[in-house]
């Protein structure tokens, strides 16, 4: 099993550009989530999904969109990148909302 | 809503010394509690979890944590630090039944000195 995979590993954007961060898992997990990690802030939940076709907002959803058309994939879209979105983004999946979350390796995003 | 407080954003110990990383939680219902570890430039991985069975939970790499309801604490300990333990550690809380999302603390960076 590959577990949770994320692409790309690194990305540099200019302000106003859009892009999609990809996330896929092969563990047949229903629950998937996106976090951003900033120094001294821990992990903050952006969006999450409890199954295909169902998504909801987390703590810091503004400027991001998600969709969940399949169990395996949970892409995160930045609509119009801003410097405040410079961060490390982690995707995670778990069997349920209260079970162990498995994390991807992260995407380091810089917005100039 | 739940919350987690990790006391000390940085902890430094000598190799062979006791490691103690503090975590206090707030939850109005019985919690599930987790400790995750993040090595440099990697994602997070689970160290251990409390899900209302035994209050003393043993995890990987010699770490353990004790759930103390009266103190609303879930501190992480290891009797003897190793250089390879240098990492950032995150405490997280959710509720039994999964009605609430997982909430992370801000993290504690552990440095191990030779």
Q: B26 or A15: which carries more pLDDT confidence?
A: A15
Write the CB contacts of B108 (distance below 8 Å, at least 6 apart in sequence).
B6, B8, B9, B10, B11, B21, B22, B88, B89, B90
A42–B90 C-beta distance less than 8 A: yes
Q: Which of A47, A40, A49, A23 is nearest to A87 (CA)?
A: A40
* Residue A97 Cα, gap to closest chain B Cα (Å): 5
Chain A residues touching B97 at Cβ < 8 A: 98
Nearest CA in chain B to A37: B106
User: For residues B102 and B94, what is the distance between their CA atoms, to the nearest angstrom?
Assistant: 5
Q: What is the average pLDDT value for chain B, to the nearest integer?
A: 91
B34–A100 C-beta distance less than 8 A: yes
CB-nearest to A58 from B34, B49, B101 is B101
pLDDT at position A92 is 95
pLDDT band at residue B97 under the 50/70/90 scheme: low
User: For residues B44 and B90, what is the distance between their CA atoms, to the nearest angstrom?
Assistant: 9
Look at residue B35 and tell me whether its pLDDT is greater than 70: yes
């Amino acid at each position: 099993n590959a577990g949770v995979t994320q692409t790309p590993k690194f990305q540099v954007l200019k302000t106003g550009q859009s892009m999609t961060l990809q996330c896929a898992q092969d563990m047949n997990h229903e629950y998937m989530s996106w976090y951003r990690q900033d120094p001294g802030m821990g992990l903050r939940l952006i969006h999450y999904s409890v199954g295909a076709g169902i998504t909801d907002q987390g703590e810091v959803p503004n400027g991001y969109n998600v969709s969940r058309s399949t169990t395996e994939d949970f892409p995160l879209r930045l609509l119009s990148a801003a410097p405040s979105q410079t961060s490390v983004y982690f995707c995670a999946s778990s069997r349920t909302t209260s079970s162990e979350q498995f994390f991807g390796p992260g995407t380091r995003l810089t917005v100039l | 809503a739940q919350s987690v407080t990790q006391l000390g954003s940085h902890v430094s110990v000598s190799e062979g010394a006791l490691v103690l990383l503090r975590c206090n939680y707030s939850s109005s219902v019985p919690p599930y509690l987790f400790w995750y570890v993040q090595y440099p430039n990697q994602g997070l991985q689970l160290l251990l979890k409390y899900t209302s069975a035994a209050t003393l939970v043993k995890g990987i790499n010699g770490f353990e944590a004790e759930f103390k309801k009266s103190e609303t604490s879930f501190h992480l300990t290891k009797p003897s630090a190793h250089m390879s333990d240098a990492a950032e550690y995150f405490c997280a809380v959710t509720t039994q039944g999964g009605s609430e999302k997982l909430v992370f603390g801000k993290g504690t960076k552990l440095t191990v000195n030779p």
